Amino acid sequence: MSKNMNTLDRSLRTLLVAPAAIVVGILVGPGSPVSIVLYALAAVMLATSAVGYCPLYSLLRLGTRSHHPLAR
């Protein structure tokens, strides 16, 4: 499991996507099914940015790191 995310990708997930999902989840209603899905999405974004590996990128044969063999 080699890293397949570059620093910009990881930063955007951590500083933009995850907090936005949490805020929208709170605005929708903290206990609603939509907010639970958004909280799970935020958790996945934070976890993947922490380890630098996105399983979905591997399934789609993508990578954002410049020296990653699958990066374009």
Answer whether residue 32 is part of any domain: yes
What 8-state DSSP symbol labels residue 70? T
Task: Identify whether the C-beta of residue 3 lies closer than 8 Å to the C-beta of residue 38.
Answer: no
Please count the helices (runs of H) and the strands (runs of E) in the chain.
4, 0
Answer whether residue 48 is part of any domain: yes
Q: Which domain holds residue 40?
A: 16-59
Task: Identify whether the C-beta of residue 64 lies closer than 8 Å to the C-beta of residue 57.
Answer: yes
Total tally of structural domains belonging to the chain:
1
Answer whether residue 46 is part of any domain: yes
Quote the Cα angle for 48-25-53, to 5°.
5
Answer whether residue 68 is part of any domain: no
Task: Identify whether the C-beta of residue 35 lies closer than 8 Å to the C-beta of residue 25.
Answer: yes
Binned at pLDDT 50, 70 and 90, residue 58 comes out as: confident
Q: Give the pLDDT confidence of 3-54 residue by residue, as tens digits.
A: 889 999 999 999 999 999 999 999 999 899 999 999 999 999 999 999 999 9
Q: What is the pLDDT of residue 67?
A: 65
Q: What pTM, to 2 d.p., does this model score? A: 0.83
